[in-house]
Copies of this chain bind each other. A is one copy, B any other.
Amino acid sequence: MQKIEKKIGYKFKNKKLLNWALTHSTFASENFYERLEFLGDLILDAVVGIYIFKKYKNKDEEFLTNLKSAYVNRNYLKKISDKMEIIKFTKYKGQKPKRTDRILESIIGAIYLDGGWRNVEKFIKKFILNIELEPLKNYKNLIFNYAIKNHNVNPVYTVVKIEGLPHKRKFEVKVKIKGVKYVGRGKGNSLKEAEIKSAKDLYEKLIRKYRTI
């Protein structure tokens, strides 16, 4: 307990909250971190959003939205929680939980409940907002706008393949724009992820060809 508190730089008044944040649903029949994650996700969004809103006074809402995405997307959060080795302090049974970003969010929820806005803001500034990131590109939007503007059609996403058991399915998606010879392809653990990756793939092919789209 003390070790993880040192790592996250926050001392809990109520240790049960920290314990709750670190308990996976495979380990306990109640008080596992999935509910706290719901709370932490909202708090994180709000803290990051307010910070960005105040820092970038001359940027429009699209910039703000994409920069927020850079700080709250699962890949970035997963990197942070893996660097902090949060999984070492997590209680679970069976397979090691892969989505360590979710545990980080549940810790954020717990800090908020224990120490309020001021402390959770401090934590987020120290570990999440501490480096400068570029706004995340919204590839599906970029491809949509390109398709409408240049070909007056909608990009069409098609599922090419679904593999694996229901709880750990893999998706493969392709995206086509009528009149465009390039096709984007992407794989992912969710349909959404596969679609985004296919849009990114097509975007990069178009950029390689036209420099700017």
Q: Does A127 contact B (CB under 8 A)?
A: no
Q: Does A180 contact B (CB under 8 A)?
A: no
CB neighbours (8 Å) of A191 from chain B are: 144, 154
Bound CA span A69–B86, Å: 30
Q: Does A159 contact B (CB under 8 A)?
A: yes
A 43-54 to B, binary, CB cutoff 8 A, 1 in contact else 0? 101100110010
A35 touches which one: B37, B64, B153 (CB < 8 A)?
A: B64
Q: B38–A64 contact, CB under 8 A? A: yes
Q: B61–A37 contact, CB under 8 A? A: yes
CB distance from A124 to the nearest CB of B (A): 13
Q: A49–B42 contact, CB under 8 A? A: yes
CB distance from A164 to the nearest CB of B (A): 11
CB neighbours (8 Å) of A169 from chain B are: 148
CB neighbours (8 Å) of A65 from chain B are: 38
Q: Does A162 contact B (CB under 8 A)?
A: yes
Q: B46–A42 contact, CB under 8 A? A: yes
With CB as the reference atom, state the residue of chain B lying closest to A144. B191
A 161-177 to B, binary, CB cutoff 8 A, 1 in contact else 0? 01000100101000000
- Contacts of A48-105 to chain B: CB distance below 8 A: 49-50, 53, 59-61, 64-65
Bound CA span A149–B45, Å: 33
Bound CA span A172–B46, Å: 34
CB neighbours (8 Å) of A43 from chain B are: 46, 50
A45 touches which one: B42, B159, B166, B171 (CB < 8 A)?
A: B42
Bound CA span A175–B39, Å: 33
- Contacts of A162-205 to chain B: CB distance below 8 A: 162, 166, 169, 171, 191
